[in-house]
Structure 1
Amino acid sequence: MKSLSRVVAIATALLGTFAPCLAQTVADPALVVTPYATGLLQPVGLVFIGPGDALVIEKASGRVRRVVNGVVQAAAVLDLPVNSSSERGLLGIALHPQFPAVPSVYLLWTESATGADSVDVSATPALGTRLDRWTWNGSQLVFNQKLLSLRARQTDNVPVPGHEGTQNAAERGNHNGGQLRFGPDGKLYVFVGDLGRRGWMQNLGSGPFVAEPLVDDTLGGPAPDAAHLSGVVLRLNADGSVPADNPFFALGSSLGGDVGAQLTRVYSYGHRNGFGMDFDRASGLLWLTENADDAFSELNAVTPGMNGGWIQVAGPLSRLAEFKRIETLSFGSSLQQTRYPPTRIAYTAALARSRMVMLPGATYRDPQLSWRYEVAPAGAAFVHGNGLGTPYTGTLWLGTATDSNSRLYCLRLTADRRSVDTSADPRLADGVVDNLAKYDATEAESLVIGQGFGATPDIREGPDGALYVVSLSRGTVYRIALR
């Protein structure tokens, strides 16, 4: 498994028929785990609209469910016609930072072209992923405004005129990202996965091909117009407009046209795909998890104008040779799209760095923590209060996108809140967990806090100070609290 897509495929086909699950456990006896809400269908996100009052989104049904004191209410507060093929569906939810005074709820979802829920990979418009704003009226969500249309389809199985043998066997529907978070600055941050694209935002200035036509796919590219804006964190005002202090606002404004308009929205780029994003309120810094293909899962501290390096590198540049070796010689020797095979990864860090598409003002940053082999990091949440006890205040909790071998990680940051504190294990001083195989926990023993939670695409700190872990594969929201 290379990402949540296969977990989702299994969950869609076999939900309710998994092999017996590991019990949900946490390593600290001062903490206790209990099921908070059960009987949900592929839950992927949660927000609290009040004490003991939450909205949970279901990926494949397109429903927003209300959970009051742990009881899932019978009637959904919204039911959207979603295309949930692979990693599509109802993916992200966020509340306006002044909620409930400003009762706006934001949803990121992939619409079905049929008007009803669908798993047909081709049954969504090319720009079928929507960012919408809704109004909470106390019992339902009422449509307010469509803010953004994003690329949804991956039609790379269709030949590109002038190129032979470059298409994949079938259309895909993964690497959508989907996380929404409001920052301490009151701006809305949207993570969009790379969607299999191979253009500017994936550090390929001429696209994936080595001969004309130098395009990204059958819809054009490689410049990031509306159909090719992917592998990015976007930063928007609450009404969907673009903040003038975005890192590429001046560049995009000077370029003009569709490409320029899209660049004004970009906060960072060069990202692959991930399922976890949260802000550290102490520093204001945004942290993002990214899945590997096979080598070097990442945890990134995202700064304005950051270029994360994908597809030229995953993990730190100093480990480029290992990235190339694993991706070239193991696990099918593929980077998802056959148009850009891993044999084209550079042989030296300097060459990889020189190949990156560095927009004016962009800065490359190594990840703060990497795992040599993929562990599928997923949901992420900071503990801001002391609801779990003072030892956990300021810690960052991560889930994983695997049903088996699922873990929760608890990370501590350095005093300046800019880096992961690895002092508990000298093997981590290089910022890399040198595990021995995919999903293996070797060298991460000091970071693992829990097991058995299944695929966990979202974690949230509740108004009561407890942590709420959303398990897609268990259909459950778990609560972690002090005994």
Structure 2
Amino acid sequence: MKHVQVLPRPGRHGRSALLGATLLATAFALASPTLADSIPVEILDPGLQVTTVLNTGLSQPMGIIFLGPDDFLVPEKGSGQVKRVTNGVVLPAPVLDLPVNSSSERGLLSLVLHPDFPATPYMYAYWTESSTGADSTAINEVPLLGNRVDRFVWNGNSLVFDRTLQRLRSRQTDNVETPGHPGTANGGEFGNHNGGVMRFGPDDKLYVFMGDQGRRGWLQNLANGPFLTAPLLDDTFGGPAPDTAHLAGVILRLNDDGSTPADNPFFASGAAIGGEVGQNIQKIFSYGHRNGFGMAFDPVSGSLWESENADDAYSELNRVIPGMNGGWIQLAGPLSRVANWKLIETTQFNRALQQVRYPPTRSVYTASLATSRMVSLPGAIYRDPELSWRYEIGPSGLTFVRDDSLGNANSGTLWMGSARAFSQVGGTGGSVYRIRLTADRLTVDTSADPRLADRVADNLFRASKFDGTESETLLIGRGFGVTPSIEQGPDGNLYVVSLSDNAIYKISPSP
């Protein structure tokens, strides 16, 4: 029995349906729930050590939420359960059990505490609802708006449903041809690019990363959608304007009750547009994103950082500013590399950008053309990534070390996990990275490797990608598997959650 209030299935807004995708590029979806990584876990800094906190009683863990020094919660992707661990023991009854659809990248994806917890006893879950009322792995058993952000009340023993803050796209039926556009059906239905990571900022606002869901509209920098002739829409549910079915590829900024802050960057322009589209635009903090599994706020500057996965070329690490346009789908990586990005996407790997409606052959070769084609909401600012990798490296969970608990050399550093295990892709799969910022905290400090002066790691071609060339000074750990979450605990140590190992590891100072 699933213990949650599930609201009625959302309506279709008077539209018909369709969605799809191609191959999953980098996703924790493919991680086995029983397969530990195939190389030993190790930390490469002699001043640090790695130990196993827990490797029994968990199935596909996605995060770690501390209630106290020896008391934490662990959300599980496939079971939809939130398990409580006290003194190293997984309690027999979950504190929450949601009816999730966990096909592909769906499931229970994140859980965060209210910034004033426990005085304000709220927790927030991002999860994909099963349309059957029970856990499901069937690709089509999900509502159109199956991705939910819900608020729960912690009563000391369990999580009790309070309200739904946001419903987002989940069903991708692009295997159905779009009327008026013959030959636009993808090969199958997909369940990827849900994003799912959430963070509260130093401003006490809730930031929600929503992947692009394979959409091809305004928020993917296509003003008229993917088609060259009428009807100019995205899919059979509408678009290309960001109605609720096309609010994707964004970071949303919400008040803790789900309402929209009046100081959001596009609040005024959304008000001028009005209606459902205008209300959605008001919620946007940044757009033009593909998909990602990591967000973290710099404890020094307060800036938001985000990791973003590539299709095949130019995975990214971004410092996100209010009103940022990340540039997708006009390009990935820096503007100076747009021609190389197009070359890789049109000649190597699967030569597609997920949707057959907008192939990479339609993209441009020059930076000026790429920027001229972007959809610029009033006040929007395009920004290059602070660091990118020529071939996909699979960035995942992010966290900052907020103090000197791991030594002065690690204070203020940014740690990043991997979206694929070594057992899946070899190379640098399952790696953990340590990234230093410049003194002004505005970008990545590349002084340890002159090859990174252009802020691009020109790693080499591998059929399975994940080559580590020019990342040698960033690599800090191996063998961690798929790591959707890295968190600093109350004791100052880092806790690395491994989805594929069904384990939680601790990185602490060497004795």
TM-score, normalization: structure 2? 0.92
Partner in structure 1 of residue 328 of structure 2:
310
Structure 1 residue corresponding to 2:293, chosen from 275, 278, 291: 275
1:470 paired to 2:497: yes
Partner in structure 2 of residue 481 of structure 1:
508
Give the Cα–Cα distance (whole angstroms) in 1 for the partners of residues 139 and 34 of structure 2. Answer: 23
Partner in structure 2 of residue 47 of structure 1:
65
Counterpart residue identity of residue 176, structure 2: V
Per the TM alignment, residue 377 of structure 1 is displaced from its structure 2 partner at its CA by 0.3
Give the Cα–Cα distance (whole angstroms) in 1 for the partners of residues 31 and 454 of structure 2. Answer: 36
1:37-94 Cα distance to aligned partner (Å, 9 max, x none): 2221111122111222111110010000111133222211111000001000001111
Contact persistence 1:55–1:64 (CA under 8 A): yes
Contact persistence 2:396–2:418 (CA under 8 A): yes
1:246-284 Cα distance to aligned partner (Å, 9 max, x none): 000011111110000100100000000011100002111
Per the TM alignment, residue 10 of structure 1 is displaced from its structure 2 partner at its CA by 4.5
Structure 2 residue corresponding to 1:460, chosen from 480, 487, 508: 487
Per the TM alignment, residue 4 of structure 1 is displaced from its structure 2 partner at its CA by 4.2
Per the TM alignment, residue 155 of structure 1 is displaced from its structure 2 partner at its CA by 1.0
Give the Cα–Cα distance (whole angstroms) in 1 for the partners of residues 24 and 460 of structure 2. Answer: 16
Any residues of structure 2 matched to 1:193-208 within 5 Å, and which?
193-208=211-226
Give the Cα–Cα distance (whole angstroms) in 2 for the partners of residues 153 and 481 of structure 1. Answer: 42
Contact persistence 1:2–1:374 (CA under 8 A): no
Unaligned 5+ segments in structure 1 are none
Any residues of structure 2 matched to 1:443-458 within 5 Å, and which?
443-458=470-485
Give the Cα–Cα distance (whole angstroms) in 2 for the partners of residues 163 and 455 of structure 1. Answer: 39
What percent identity do the matched residue pairs reach? 61
Give the Cα–Cα distance (whole angstroms) in 1 for the partners of residues 31 and 337 of structure 2. Answer: 33
How large is the RMSD of aligned CA atoms in angstroms?
Answer: 1.0
Partner in structure 1 of residue 207 of structure 2:
189
1:398-439 Cα distance to aligned partner (Å, 9 max, x none): 001111122111000000101000000000000000000210
Partner in structure 1 of residue 393 of structure 2:
375
Give the Cα–Cα distance (whole angstroms) in 1 for the partners of residues 370 and 412 of structure 2. Answer: 35
Partner in structure 1 of residue 178 of structure 2:
160
Any residues of structure 2 matched to 1:43-442 within 5 Å, and which?
43-404=61-422, 405-437=429-461, 438-442=465-469
Per the TM alignment, residue 386 of structure 1 is displaced from its structure 2 partner at its CA by 1.4
Q: 1:3 to 1:52 in 2, by over 3 A?
A: farther
Per the TM alignment, residue 9 of structure 1 is displaced from its structure 2 partner at its CA by 3.2
Partner in structure 2 of residue 8 of structure 1:
29
Per the TM alignment, residue 2 of structure 1 is displaced from its structure 2 partner at its CA by 4.7
Per the TM alignment, residue 244 of structure 1 is displaced from its structure 2 partner at its CA by 0.1
Higher relative contact order (CA 8 A, sep 6+): 2
What secondary structure sits across from 2:297 in the alignment?
strand
Counterpart residue identity of residue 29, structure 2: V
What secondary structure sits across from 2:344 in the alignment?
helix
Give the Cα–Cα distance (whole angstroms) in 2 for the partners of residues 205 and 439 of structure 1. Answer: 33
TM-score, normalization: structure 1? 0.98
Counterpart residue identity of residue 455, structure 1: V
Q: 1:70 to 1:3 in 2, by over 3 A?
A: farther
Contact persistence 1:90–1:109 (CA under 8 A): yes
Contact persistence 2:35–2:501 (CA under 8 A): no
Structure 1 residue corresponding to 2:52, chosen from 23, 32, 35: 35
Q: 1:17 to 1:284 in 2, by over 3 A?
A: closer
Give the Cα–Cα distance (whole angstroms) in 1 for the partners of residues 88 and 495 of structure 2. Answer: 11
1:356-412 Cα distance to aligned partner (Å, 9 max, x none): 000000000000000000011000000001111111000000001111122111000
Unaligned 5+ segments in structure 2 are 1-22, 423-428
Contact persistence 2:82–2:97 (CA under 8 A): yes
Give the Cα–Cα distance (whole angstroms) in 1 for the partners of residues 226 and 210 of structure 2. Answer: 20
Moved more, 318-327 or 43-52: 43-52
Give the Cα–Cα distance (whole angstroms) in 1 for the partners of residues 500 and 386 of structure 2. Answer: 28
Per the TM alignment, residue 3 of structure 1 is displaced from its structure 2 partner at its CA by 3.8
Q: How many residue pairs end up in the alignment?
A: 478
